[in-house]
Structure 1
Amino acid sequence: MNEILKEFEHYVQTQQYDNADSLIESLLQNSVIINLERREALTFLYRIGYVYPETTLKLCNQRNDIPRPFKDTLRMASGDTPSLRLYSHADTLVSIKTALMRHKPWLAKIFVYRFYRQYGLQPISLVKYNKLTIGNNHKKLKKIKNNQTVSIIVTTYNSAKFVENCIDSLLNQTANNIEVIVVDDASTDNTVEIIKKYPTIKLIELNKNNGTYYARNVGISQSSGQFVTFQDSDDWSHPERVSIQLQDLLQNSNTVANFSNFFRVEEKTGLPSCRQNYPLLRLNISSMMIRRDKLEEIGGFDDRYRIESDKRLLNALLLKYGKSSISYIKLPLAVGLLRNRSLTTAKDSGFNKYGYSPLRDLV
């Protein structure tokens, strides 16, 4: 980490936000950004881009080696609509977002099709009414025979608005031998009634709300699969997610667990978005698929905490089995819902405008 980023993070973590603002503003008056190595410059600019999009764009213009898609996301965050450009792979999401902002849903549909094709995945039409709509597609794909059972554990809490999309995506997986377990963490809406409409799903109702990780551990204890994976109740999985992650584990006996990528869709606007602005395609920490015996060895999730225990579990796996035991499948195998009331965005558990959470820093 370069020194200027260290200084910025120090001000943020000690909540000296005026000093952080002054530091960034001072960069416009000197050549610090110009003199940084490209990798260091990008790391810094990506970090501050969602805090100060307009200032960051000005800093980007001091160099000629900054990715154009990143600058487009800064323009979007500043309230502008950039020119429509055709990007590739992960940056296709920037093209999709621009097309929707310019009210060209037909073009966004083409870009979505191209996006999945570039990754060798079956294309899914997610565009509806000039928005990306999770669960819009119900395309049935050919099932792939797998002898091993995969247990998929979903935890719910007042998830009535979006849980059907989540479950439908799991029941539409190409993997044919799956067990879907939904653990409801004492919802007060009609989530449970919705789940009961699915006769093949195993529903576990908790009487007290103890948090996602406690509920996941309950689901693990009641599952039977040789492999276990997870999905948040406001996420949607591509039909090939489970089969691709399973094949990775079957083909690599030394791999203990794997993760895949996803992008998020903002609930209100229907646009691909992320808290950090860029890149839009990111690691999906909730997508972990793990061998049951290794999960039992590690002891499951640390459910003393309501946040960040998925990262704790990953760190425990790395410590016990080493970096080579974890595989990262860089394919867009899920779509998440970016909403105001999630653990990531809620005032008491989420990040503030500076990308800092005092509560998460404590744990």
Structure 2
Amino acid sequence: MRVSVIIAAYNAEAYIAEAVASVLGQTVPPDEVIVIDDGSTDGTRHVLGQFGDRITVLTQDNSGQAVAVNKALATAQGDLIGFCDADDLWTRRKLELQLALLERQGDVEAVFGKVEQFVSPDVPDEQRERLRPAVTVMPGELKQCMLIRRAALDRAGPFDESLPATFFIAWLGRAKQHGLTSAHVDDVVVRRRLHLGNGGRINTDAQNRETLLALRKAIKARRPPE
């Protein structure tokens, strides 16, 4: 089975090289890595150019991560789809472990794993304590932790582009309503970087509003037609 990995990047110059390298450096490498630059104004494109033909680079005007991911998915050729955030890191055996589970359990459509949160080394000392996570390692039903069969991904439909911060939460709820079967490997598969630019930490009000909107949409979708 072919594996495609999608990374959406916006002004990710500081971290994108490490993220891409963690995907390319898997013990079982992916067949395709698509990085979509969401209208960056920093040196992201220059950094991506250093990987040459090892990755496919797409571009768009700044439209948000959900739009970027949907655009990249339209070009992906893999039977299995994985995602990495531009500031996070995959552990080296992520694909190896998740592929093995999918091969053993043919009825499983999506595999998740644990996420380890860490404060980025570039965070100033005086800011580190407020970013320190209450829980370091935990189960991760996150986009970057998931490897999913393309058919199951498509069954639930595209990511909701009206929810730029919480589109994956909304999609996962919809996918479960459509019968998504999932499993977890008991290993850390992603290291989630905590830094001063994390969208969820600097835009908490917007994220809370989107979460409520996503919940309302989910409740409405469950109601029988009148």
Same fold flag (TM > 0.5): yes
After superposition, give the CA deviation of every residue in 1:259-316 in whole Å (9 maximum; x if it has no partner).
1111111122597997751354341502211111121222121122101111112111
- 1:295 paired with 2:147, answer no
**Alignment match, 2:191:** 335
Query: Contact between 1:235 and 1:335, CA under 8 Å: does it hold in 2?
Result: yes
Distance 2:59 2:202 in 1: 24
Residue identity matched to 1:297: R
Distance 1:190 1:153 in 2: 19
- 1:306 paired with 2:157, answer no
Distance 2:5 2:128 in 1: 27
> Taking structure 2 as the reference length, what is the TM-score of the superposition?
0.83
> Per-residue deviation at 1:358?
4.2
| Structure 2 spans left out of the alignment, 5+ residues | 215-226
Larger Rg: 1
**Alignment match, 1:245:** 98
Distance 2:106 2:36 in 1: 30
| Structure 1 spans left out of the alignment, 5+ residues | 1-147, 352-356
The runs of at least 4 consecutive aligned structure 1 residues that moved more than 4 Å come to 269-276, 348-351
> Per-residue deviation at 1:153?
0.3
> Taking structure 1 as the reference length, what is the TM-score of the superposition?
0.53
Question: Matched residue of 2:135: which SS?
Answer: coil
Distance 1:273 1:243 in 2: 35
Aligned residues: 208
Distance 1:271 1:345 in 2: 13
Aligned pairs for 1:50-199 within 5 A: 148-199=1-52
**Alignment match, 1:109:** none
**Alignment match, 2:173:** 315
1:272 to 1:262, Cα distance in 2 relative to 1, 3 A: farther
Distance 2:167 2:65 in 1: 9
Distance 1:350 1:277 in 2: 22
Q: Which has the higher contact order (CA 8 A, sep 6+)?
A: 2
> Per-residue deviation at 1:165?
0.5
2:64 maps to which of 194, 208, 211: 211
If each structure's strand is expressed as a fraction of its own residues, which one has the higher value? 2
State percent identity of aligned pairs: 22
